[in-house]
Structure 1
Amino acid sequence: MDMAFDDTQTAIKESCDRLFGRLAGPGRARELGRSGGADLALATALEEAGFLDLFAEEDAGPLAAALITEWAAKAAALLPLGARTLIAPNLIADRLPAVIAICDAAHAGPVRYAAQADVLIRIDGDAAIVAESGEFRTEPVASIFGYPMARVSDVSGVRLGAGSGEVARRWWQVALAAEVAGAARAALDQTIAYLTQRVQFDRPIASFQAVQHRLVECHVSVESTAWAAREAAARGAPAALAAGAAITAVECAQRVFDETHQLSGAIGFTTEYDLHLWSMRLQTLRQECGGVGAHARSLVANAWS
């Protein structure tokens, strides 16, 4: 796998940096958090730029879709890009709406973006169900975990063929890993900036070797997650790579959450400080799709199949 971006990926990154810099970020995340919605304005801008449908493009493909999912999470964007750009293209042939939610019947609990979704993908054993708005019911749930959440019930819709559930699950794992990589990178960058400015004993806290060791461990974990997600996407989300990326992501999410909050001290636990805009999302993502137990079972099942 080539570790450097090609010309197309570089151009997409530069465009995304400008777009997310203008339309996303902590301020926008706070605004949407108060209203409890998804960022439809950002979705429109991404669609107009052609960035929502890169999965099937020959010169972009799933890797580019995973990269955009990662960069959006780093920018604190409130939009389910992983479901839209990585999961849905493998299951739905028709034109895709901007807001797509995904859940698993085997794991009860609130679902990200369910109340805002035009389409819900539900994994039901070996099959996936695709339900349009009106074919499922939602009940919004108040949450401090960084996303609009809702409980889902009475799902009907179209049941796809055998194996579609596994396809959805594998791409969901890739999308989760990409999102964790982006959110964890932003949380770590925020913490490094704080520790560089904060002075104790006449020295920046970031200059102390023990602190540097902890930051480096977080950095390695974030980079491992990012590259695991990218490789799994580039290779078509084979079961072992998808599950492995998800397991790596869950471990990264927990490590970065713990370390960034502890290293930030008291300010890291205040809502005025931006860290929670990413760290609380990490807590949501590490439990999604069944959490590390479900990812581990997927990995073992693939090894023994």
Structure 2
Amino acid sequence: MIQIAGYILTLLYACNLFFPALFRTIPSVIPALAGHAAFGIFALLLARGARRTSNHFLYFLRLITAALSTGLITILADRFAQVYFPEHNALFTYATSIALIAGLSMITGCSQDLVMQAMTANDSKGFDPSEQKGNPPRDPSGKKTNLFGVPFQPLSYRMHPIVGIVVGILTIGVTFFSTMFFRFSHGLYGQAFIVLAFIAFRDTPAPQGKPLTSVRLIALRRRIANTLFEDTLAFRRALMSLSALTLVFLLLSKIPGSPTKLMTPQMTGCLFALPLALLLPEFKEPPSPTRRRITYSALAICYAVLFAIRLLVEQR
């Protein structure tokens, strides 16, 4: 249901782009807020999907392919139907956000590798830092914790940790530059929105203590389990982090002489996705190949159909 709501809001926003005369009787802020809410919904879906997928490189390729296909249609619509698009489509932002998450994960993962190598070198010399007074005991399992949880070695390719850190920094730099230079939808705010949502969706530890006895709390948790968040802690993390992000970007955009327009007040509509995602259930079953193709091509198909209708209307 949450995905269907995103499609409806996207359609409303796209219709306003292709047929603005039909929306002159309503405030222009309504279609704009619909577009921002749709961006927020699919940003949350993308962050959740990045947690569940086992092949993030393929995830990126599908998104960038869909973005290029949609971008081609927008170029044709601008050329032959004079349809104005203020920014490149949001699929570019989604794709670069996956690359940004991968770059951050490479840095954190490779940094952990450097620490593990240093600890192993110390152990080989007969020195155990965990035995020093005041140091916590080392985890005997030797497992590493990863803040982001995305494999930092694409296609199982092994690289030196220092090389991985450099590649991660370059990846982050390229994503920031491409977003600002090509004016991707929602800019740096959209990228940060997805990254923070991704962190908010991290695994929640099992609660320790007395079981719930309140019938209302049990019913609430069961209802949230059918939504995108799956538990109340993930929703609280997303609400606090994304609200703080929006406030920070709003304040930064008010600074005189800002090099770029970080965000507009209407972009706060992205936060509407949070209550919608909390109220509307999510499809829990894995998507079929047909449904997956429709998901990635939905925006391109929507733009293509509206473009064809616009051409037919202008020829009359």
TM-score, structure 1 normalization: 0.29
Q: Which has the higher helix share?
A: 2
- Please identify the structure whose Cα radius of gyration is greater: 2
TM-score when normalising by structure 2: 0.28
